[in-house]
Amino acid sequence: MNINYLLKKLFHSFITLIIVITINFFLFRVMPGDPTAMVAKSANLSPEYAEKLNEMYGFDRSLPVQYAMYIKSLVTGDFGMSFKFRKPVINIIGERIMATILLAICAQTVAILFGIVVGTLAAAHRGRKIDVGALGFALFIYAIPAFWLGIVLVSFFSVKLGVFPVNGMVDAGRDYATTWAYIKDVLHHLLLPSISMGLAICGGYTMIMRSSLLDVLTEDYITTARAKGYKRKDVVIKHALPNAMLPMVTVIAINIGFMIGGALQTETVFSWPGVGRLVYDSLEARDYPVLQGAFLIISFCVIIANFIADILYGYLDPRIKYE
Amino acid sequence: MAEITKKNVKYQNIKRSIDTFMGNKMGVLGLCILVFFVIVAFIGPLVYDFDQQSYGKGELMAPPTNGFPLGTDDMGRDILGSLIYGAKISLMIGIFATLISVCIGTFIGISSGFAGGKTDIILMRFTDGFMVLPKLPLIMILAALLGSNIRNIIIVLGFTSWTGTARLVRSQTLSVKERQFVERAISSGAGKGYIMFKHILPNVFPLVFSNTILVTANAILTETTLSFLGLGDPLTPSWGQILRGAFVSGAVSLGAWWFFIPAGLCVILLVLGFTFLGYSFDEILNPKLRRR
Amino acid sequence: MKKKLCLFLALMLIIAVPLTACGGNEQPTNQPAEQNGEQPAEKSVLKIGIKDEPDSLSPFIATLYASGHVTEKIYDTLIEYDNDLNPRGRLAENWSVSEDGLEWTFNLRKEIKWFDGEDFTADDVVWTYNTLLSAEFPQSIQLNGVTKVEKINEYTVKLYTEIPKADMEGHRILIMPEHIYKDKSLDELNTFAEENPVGTGIFKLVEWKQGEYIRLKKNENYFQGPSNIDEIVYVIFANTDTLMQALQAGEIDATIDVAKNQVNMLEQDPNIEVVTANGRNFTELGFNCWEDEKSLGNPLILDPKIRVACDYAIDKKQIVKIALNGFGTPGTTLIPASVGDWHWDPDDSEHKYNPQKAKEILEAAGYTDTDGDGIREDSDGNKLSFRFAVISKTDAYVKASGIIQKNLQDIGIEVVISTMDSGAQSDLIYEQNFDTDMYLWGWGCELDPTLKLSVLTTDQIGKRSDCFWGNETYDELFELQSTQVNRAERLETVHEMQKIAYEKAPYIILYSKNSLEAYRTDKFEGWTRIPEGIGTVLDQLNHSTLLNLKVK
C-alpha cells in the first residue's frame, strides 16, 4: 500500500477528530444550568470547595484556557466525572460499551447477511417479481421507525407469545451455575433486540448490494463469461459477487462506526444497558460530562471506521490511484 | 421563430421527463401516496370534525366504535382525528426542515466546490466533522436545549441534516465547474456570485431535488423518533406524539392496537411515499449515481 | 481475489475482537462464588421493578424517591412507625422530652452492630446530626430548630431545640457510621459516591450495576430479626411498559411504579395483586407570586382574585380522571386529607368547579374582554395571558396542563404552554428571575404538617418556596404552630394557615395521587399493608413486609 495515501487519510482523520473535539467542547459550554450546583446537589458548598470544583472542571476560566484544559485531559484519558454517578465518565461508558457492541454486532450480522442474500437475489432477477419484491421490502423496512418495529416485535413475541424476555441483558441478579448458563441467558435476551435492530438497518444493505451487483453485471468480463457458456448462477456467484462486495465492505466498515450511536432507539425500547440508553438517561439527568464523553467516543468510532473504510477501499479498488 | 423553437424544445424536454416519470411505477406510487396525504392534511380537517382539546370526549383508550372509527387515545380524544391533524404537522416539519437543510447544504456545497483551495478544505473538513457526530443524540441535545416546540424541532432537524447535501452538491459543482460554459463565463469576467447562481445552481438543482425528497423522508422519521423519546411537543398531536402516548400509557401491553398501529403505518406510508419518489427521481436524473 | 478475502476476514476479526473481550470481561463478576462443589439451597430473591435509577446511595445527597427506597433498607432511623402510624423506636429504645419541650433525650438500643462489626453507639448519632446541622444537605431541613446535639453516654443522646419542636417525632434521618466518615470533609461528603455503604439496616448492598439492577442481601444480624428473604434485587427498567410486561411474565415479583392505565389489566391477572392507597402527596398549579421588581412574571397574576377565579374554573375531577386514570383525589387545601386531621376541609367555602362563578369574579374585578378576541384585559388593556411551564417527562403534568389550558381559555384567560425538563423549569424559577407565570409541581407529605406548611413562608422564597409567595399573618401563624406542643391548639393554627393559603391561592392544589404498587402472589406470601389493610406493601414506615414475607 502506498504510504502517502495512508498518511493523507490519517491526516484527514486527525483533522476531523480535532474538529469533532472542538464542536463537542462548545456544544456543552452552552448548555443551561449551573454546573457547580449540578456536581454538588447541595446548594451550600463551602466557597473553597466550590472553587475547587470550578478548578477541577475549569468553569471559571476563559474559554481558550478551558479548551486547552479539555484537550489536555482528553490526551491523558481523563473524560471528567459524571455529575450524577460521581464516577469517572470513562468507567461508566466502559461498563456500558460492551453491551452496545454486542448488540450492534449481532444486529449487523443479521442485517449484512440479509442484505447480501436478498440484494444478490434481486440483482440476479432484475426487473422480475423477486426484484420488485426485494426492492419494495427494502424501502419499506427503511421507512419503519426503529423504535416502532421494536414495540411491535415485543408486543407480539414477548407479550402475546411470551417466548422472549422483555427487559435488559440478563435476568437481573440471577446466579449462574455455569458460564454456559450465563451465555445462554444473554443470548436469550439478545435475540429479539438484535433482530429488531438488524431488520431496521437491513434495507440499506439490500439496496447497496443490489445496485453494486447490477453495476458489476453490466461489465464486459461478465458478458464474456456468459458468452463462454458459464451458467448464469455461477457467473453471479463466482465472478460478479466478489467484485460487488467491494462497496459493501466499505459501507459495512462505515456503518459499524455509526452503530454505537444508532442503537439508542432499540436500547430504549428493550431496556438494553448500553451506551445509547446511557445517553438517553444522561440527557434527562443533565449529566453533561457523560454525554460529552459518550459523544466523543461514538464520534471516535466513526472516524476510525471511516479510516478503515478508506484504507480498505484504496486497497481493494485497483482504480484508485495512490498519488 | 427561433424563440418558439427554443420553447418547443423546452416543452418537449419537459414532456419527455414526465413520460419517463410516469413510466416509473415506483415514482407514480410514491406521488400518489404523497398526494393522498396532502389531501388528508388540508381537506381532511374541513370534512372531519376534530378538536385537539376535546379531552375526555370518549372513554380513555377505548376500541373503535361508531363515534370513534379508530378508537380513542389515553386522553379520550378521537384517534382518527388526531391522525388527520398530525398529517399536516408531519408534512410541515418534513418540508420546512428540509428547506433549511437544503439551503445550508447547497450553500456550503457550492461555495466549497466553486472556491476550491483552502475554503474547500476547511468547509469539507468541517462537514466531515459534523457528519461524524452521532446525529440522533445531537438532535436530542439540541432539542432539549432549545425547548421542544414545533418551530425549534424544525430548526434543529434542518441544522443537523445538511451534510449529505453539501457533499453531493460539492461533487456536482466540481464537475459543472469544468464545463465550457462556466469557464467561458469566468474568463469573460462574470462575478463569482453571478456564476454560482446563474450557471452552477441550475445545473446542480436536479440532483439536489431528488436528494431533497430523501432528506424530507428522513426528517419526518427523525421527528417521529424525537417525539417518541419525549423530546417533541407533547400537546401537539403529531404522529410521533401519538406513538409516544401509546407507549407511555402501555397500549402495547394492553393490546390497544388502534393506538399505535395506525399511527405507525401512517409514518411508514408517508416516508415510503417520499422514498419511492426520491428513489425514482434519482434513477431518472442520474442513472449513474446509485444510492443506498 | 485471495487478497480481498484475507482483508475481509481481517475486518471480521477486528469486529470480533471486542466481542470476545466482552465475554472475558463480564463473566468473572457474574461467576457465582459457590460454583465449585455443593449447590446451596435455592436462594429466595425478591425482585422489585423500578423505573428511575437512584441517583446516589449516600443518604446525605440522594434526592430521588427510588434512592430513598433503597437507602432505607441499608440504614436505619432512630424512630419508625407502628402499623397504626404511631411513632416507636427503631435504633432508639425510647425517648423523652423535658417539661419545657426544649430537650429531647434518646436512649439507644445496645448491641446493634454495623455491617463491618463495629458497635453502633451515640457517637454515630451525634456525628450524623452534627454533620447535617453544619451544612445544608437535602435532609438538614428535618432538623429545623435543633440547636445542639450532645452525647450523654455511649447509648444516650440529647437534642436541644431553640423553641419546642412539634415535629420531632416525625423526623426520619438515616444514621451513618461515624467511624467510617469522621475523617471525610464536609465537601467530600457532599460529592462522593458511596459504593460500599456500611449501615445497620435490614439489607446490605452487594452490587449496583448501573442501568441494570441493584442487588441487596439480607443482614443476618438485624436486630428486628433477619428477613426470610435472602436477597432483594431492584431491577431498573427504561420504561413502564416493559416493567408491566415483566411483572406479568413473572420476571419481577413486585413494583413501586405501576402504570395507572394498566391497573385494570393487572387486576385481571389472578397472580397479581394491585395495591391502591391514598397517597400522602399533592400536585399543585403554582403561580408566580413574587412581588419583587426583579420578577419577570406577568404582574396581573399577583392579583389573588384571578388565581381564585382559576381555582373555580379548573375541573379537577376531570384532571383526576384523565391525567391519573381516576387513581387520585381532587385536592383542596395544602395539607391533604390523607395526612389526617391536620387537613382543613373548606366545606361550604370550597372553590368547586364553576366556570360561571369564575367569570363573575373576573368581571367584578374589572377584567373584561374589550377587544373581542376572547381574552380578557385589565382596565389598561393588559391581556390575561400567562405563560405555563410544564415538565414534559411527567405524563400526568402534560395531560393536566392541556386540560387547565382549555378550562382557563373557557373563562377568557389565555395560557401559553411551554414544555421543558425539570432542570429547565427550576432554572426559570430560581436562576432566571422567575421567568414564567404558572407551573406544575408536586410534593410528598410527612405525617407532620410543619415541612409542607413551611414551603409557603416568606423565609423560604428562593429556597424551597417555588411560588415566592409571602404573607405576614401566615408567617406568624407558622412560628406559632411550631411551638404549640398542645395538639388541639396547634391543630387550630394549622387549619387557620391553610385557610389563608386557600383564599389567597398561591397554589391551586389539583390532586393527591394514589400510591400504586403491585405484587405477584404466586411466589411469596406475607405481603403486609401499612397502615393495616389500607396502606402500601413496599413503601413502608417500618419493615413489616420485609419481615413477614417468605417463599410459598
B185: exposed, middle or buried (Cβ count in 10 Å: 0-12, 13-18, 19+): middle
- Overall number of domains in chain A: 2
| Residue B21: how many other CB atoms lie within 10 Å | 15
Name the residue with higher pLDDT: C343 or A200.
Answer: C343
- 8 Å CB contact between C249 and A161: no
**Order of strands across the sheet with C156-161?**
C92-97, C103-108, C156-161, C146-153
Omega into C531 within 30° of 0, i.e. cis?
yes
Amino acid at the residue C132:
L
Q: Looking at the structure, tell me whether residues A110 and A34 fall in a common domain.
A: no
| Among B57, B59, B235, B247, the residue to mutate for chain C (most C Cβ within 10 A) | B235
- Chain C interface includes A86 (CB < 8 A): yes
Residue numbers in A near B290 (CB within 8 A): 211-212, 214-215
Rounded to an integer, the average pLDDT of C455-469 is 86
Number of A–B residue contacts, CB under 8 Å: 126
Q: What's the CATH code of the domain at A109?
A: 1.10.3720.10
β-bridge mates for residue C461, sequence order = C465
Segments of chain A with pLDDT less than 70: 1, 30-61, 172-174, 316-323
Q: Looking at the structure, tell me whether residues A211 and A299 fall in a common domain.
A: yes
| pTM exceeds 0.90 for this model | no
pLDDT value at position C12? 43
Q: Which of these, B134, C440, C484, lies nearest to A300 by C-alpha position? A: B134
- 8 Å CB contact between C471 and C489: no
Domains of chain B: 73-291 (1.10.3720.10)
- 8 Å CB contact between B207 and B109: no
User: Helix or strand or coil: residue C291?
Assistant: coil
Helix A129-143 crosses helix A89-124 at what angle (to 10 degrees)? 160
Measured at the alpha carbon of residue A219, what is the angle toward residues A213 and A221, in degrees to the nearest 5? Answer: 110
Q: Would the CB atoms of C318 and B248 count as touching at under 8 Å?
A: no
> Which pLDDT band holds residue B62 (cuts at 50, 70, 90)?
confident
In the block, which residue shows the cell 408486543?
A: A155
The CA distance from B228 to the nearest CA of chain C, in Å, is 11
> Is A109 within the bounds of a domain?
yes
Conformational region of residue C160, where left means phi above 0, alpha means psi within -120 to 50, and beta covers everything else: beta
- Chain C interface includes B73 (CB < 8 A): no
Q: Would the CB atoms of C61 and A42 count as touching at under 8 Å?
A: yes
CA distance B237 to B54: 12
Residue numbers in A near C40 (CB within 8 A): none
Q: Would the CB atoms of A19 and B229 count as touching at under 8 Å?
A: no
Measured between its terminal Cα atoms, the distance across chain A in Å is: 11
Q: Is the pLDDT of residue B291 over 60?
A: no
What residues contact A241, with CB distance under 8 A and at least 6 apart? A120, A213
pLDDT value at position C29? 39
Q: Looking at the structure, tell me whether residues A172 and A312 fall in a common domain.
A: yes
Q: Looking at the structure, tell me whether residues A188 and A298 fall in a common domain.
A: yes
Out of A75, A108, A129, a domain closes at A75
Give B142-195 pLDDT, tens digit per residue: 887 777 778 888 999 999 889 888 988 888 888 887 777 777 777 777 777 777
Q: Would the CB atoms of B248 and C406 count as touching at under 8 Å?
A: no
pLDDT value at position C505? 93
Give B67-116 pLDDT, tens digit per residue: 888 888 888 888 898 899 889 988 999 999 999 999 999 999 888 888 87
User: Which of C39, C213, C421 is facing A172, going by the closest CB pair?
Assistant: C213
For residue C45, what is the DSSP state? E
- Chain C interface includes A85 (CB < 8 A): yes
The CA distance from C115 to the nearest CA of chain A, in Å, is 21
> Which pLDDT band holds residue C37 (cuts at 50, 70, 90)?
very low
The CA distance from C189 to the nearest CA of chain A, in Å, is 10
Give me the residues of A, 273-302, that contact C with CB < 8 A: 273, 277-278, 280-281, 284-286
Measured at the alpha carbon of residue B197, what is the angle toward residues B192 and B202, in degrees to the nearest 5? Answer: 135
Q: Would the CB atoms of B250 and C406 count as touching at under 8 Å?
A: no
Name the residue with higher pLDDT: A177 or C50.
Answer: C50
pLDDT value at position A256? 76
CA distance C513 to C324: 7
Chain C contact partners (≥3 CB pairs within 8 A): A, B
Rounded to an integer, the average pLDDT of C489-506 is 93
What are the start-end ranges of the E strands in C7-154?
Answer: 45-50, 79-81, 87-89, 92-97, 103-108, 146-153
pLDDT value at position A321? 45
Q: Would the CB atoms of C27 and A179 count as touching at under 8 Å?
A: yes
Give me the residues of A, 116-145, that contact C with CB < 8 A: none
User: Helix or strand or coil: residue B159?
Assistant: helix
The CA distance from B133 to the nearest CA of chain C, in Å, is 21
- 8 Å CB contact between A126 and A240: no
pLDDT value at position A51? 66
Out of A26, A45, A75, a domain closes at A75
| Among C264, C318, C394, C419, the residue to mutate for chain B (most B Cβ within 10 A) | C419
Assigned C-alpha cell, C207: 452490587
Q: Would the CB atoms of B144 and C259 count as touching at under 8 Å?
A: no
What residues contact A17, with CB distance under 8 A and at least 6 apart? A299, A300, A303
> Is A84 within the bounds of a domain?
no
Q: Would the CB atoms of B225 and A145 count as touching at under 8 Å?
A: yes
Q: Looking at the structure, tell me whether residues A218 and A282 fall in a common domain.
A: yes
Measured between its terminal Cα atoms, the distance across chain C in Å is: 66
| Among A86, A260, A270, the residue to mutate for chain C (most C Cβ within 10 A) | A86
User: Helix or strand or coil: residue C85?
Assistant: coil
CA distance C531 to B125: 66
Q: Looking at the structure, tell me whether residues A293 and A154 fall in a common domain.
A: yes
pLDDT value at position C57? 87
Q: Looking at the structure, tell me whether residues A23 and A126 fall in a common domain.
A: no
pLDDT value at position C439? 94
In the block, which residue shows the cell 462497496?
A: A247
Residue numbers in B near A289 (CB within 8 A): none
- Chain A interface includes B159 (CB < 8 A): no
Q: What does chain A come to in residues?
A: 323
Residue numbers in B near C406 (CB within 8 A): 53, 55
C423: exposed, middle or buried (Cβ count in 10 Å: 0-12, 13-18, 19+): middle
Assigned C-alpha cell, C443: 410534593
Name the residue with higher pLDDT: C63 or C516.
Answer: C516
Chain A contact partners (≥3 CB pairs within 8 A): B, C
- Chain C interface includes B248 (CB < 8 A): yes
Residue numbers in A near B243 (CB within 8 A): 145, 147-148
Give C354-376 pLDDT, tens digit per residue: 999 999 999 999 999 988 888 99
Alpha-helical runs (H) found in chain B = 2-23, 25-47, 79-115, 117-132, 135-146, 150-160, 163-177, 180-187, 192-195, 201-228, 239-248, 251-254, 257-285
- 8 Å CB contact between C175 and C76: yes
Which of B130-139, B211-220, C130-139, C398-407: highest mean pLDDT? C398-407
C19: exposed, middle or buried (Cβ count in 10 Å: 0-12, 13-18, 19+): middle
Residue numbers in B near C259 (CB within 8 A): 249-250, 253
Q: Looking at the structure, tell me whether residues A164 and A268 fall in a common domain.
A: yes
Give backbone dihedrals phi and psi of B280, rounded to 5 degrees, phi first: -75, -35
- Chain A interface includes C137 (CB < 8 A): yes
The CA distance from C266 to the nearest CA of chain A, in Å, is 13
Assigned C-alpha cell, C358: 369564575
Give C200-248 pLDDT, tens digit per residue: 999 999 998 888 899 999 999 999 989 999 999 999 887 777 788 888 8
Domains of chain C: 42-56+66-72+201-277+516-551 (3.40.190.10), 79-191 (3.90.76.10), 281-513 (3.10.105.10)
Rounded to an integer, the average pLDDT of C421-438 is 83
> Is A81 within the bounds of a domain?
no
> Is A82 within the bounds of a domain?
no
β-bridge mates for residue A113, sequence order = none
Give backbone dihedrals phi and psi of B157, rounded to 5 degrees, phi first: -60, -40
Out of A75, A97, A131, a domain closes at A75
Q: What is the dihedral of CA C203, C209, C210, C212, to 10 degrees?
A: -100
Q: Looking at the structure, tell me whether residues A271 and A146 fall in a common domain.
A: yes
| CA distances from residue C386 to B150, C291, C375, C383 in whole angstroms, order as listed | 20, 16, 11, 9
Q: Beta strand C550-551 with C281-287: parallel, antiparallel or unpaired?
A: unpaired
Q: Beta strand C281-287 with C272-277: parallel, antiparallel or unpaired?
A: unpaired
pLDDT value at position A42? 44
| Residue A242: how many other CB atoms lie within 10 Å | 14
pLDDT value at position C5? 44
Give A3-20 pLDDT, tens digit per residue: 787 888 888 888 888 888
Q: Which of these, C132, C130, C111, lies nearest to C121 by C-alpha position? A: C111
| Among C2, C29, C30, the residue to mutate for chain A (most A Cβ within 10 A) | C30
> Is A171 within the bounds of a domain?
yes
Q: Looking at the structure, tell me whether residues A17 and A159 fall in a common domain.
A: no
- 8 Å CB contact between B94 and B277: no
CA distance C309 to C319: 17
CA distance B10 to C366: 68
> Is A323 within the bounds of a domain?
no
Q: Is the pLDDT of residue C15 over 50?
A: no
Q: Looking at the structure, tell me whether residues A157 and A197 fall in a common domain.
A: yes
Give B9-59 pLDDT, tens digit per residue: 667 767 776 776 666 778 888 899 999 999 999 888 888 888 878 887 888
For residue C396, what is the DSSP state? H
> Is A322 within the bounds of a domain?
no
Q: Is the pLDDT of residue C477 over 60?
A: yes
Amino acid at the residue B199:
H
User: Helix or strand or coil: residue A321?
Assistant: coil
- Chain C interface includes A318 (CB < 8 A): no
Q: Is the pLDDT of residue C28 over 60?
A: no
- Chain A interface includes C237 (CB < 8 A): yes
Q: Beta strand C92-97 with C146-153: parallel, antiparallel or unpaired?
A: unpaired
> Which pLDDT band holds residue C93 (cuts at 50, 70, 90)?
very high
Q: Is the pLDDT of residue C164 over 80?
A: no
Give C234-293 pLDDT, tens digit per residue: 998 877 777 888 888 888 999 998 888 788 888 889 999 999 988 888 999 999 999 888
Chain B contact partners (≥3 CB pairs within 8 A): A, C
Range of the domain at A69: 3-75
Q: Would the CB atoms of B140 and A148 count as touching at under 8 Å?
A: no
User: Helix or strand or coil: residue C44?
Assistant: coil
What residues contact B73, with CB distance under 8 A and at least 6 apart? B60, B61, B79, B82, B242, B245, B246, B249, B259
pLDDT value at position C404? 95
Q: Looking at the structure, tell me whether residues A268 and A148 fall in a common domain.
A: yes
> Is A321 within the bounds of a domain?
no
- Chain A interface includes B125 (CB < 8 A): yes
Assigned C-alpha cell, B227: 417525539
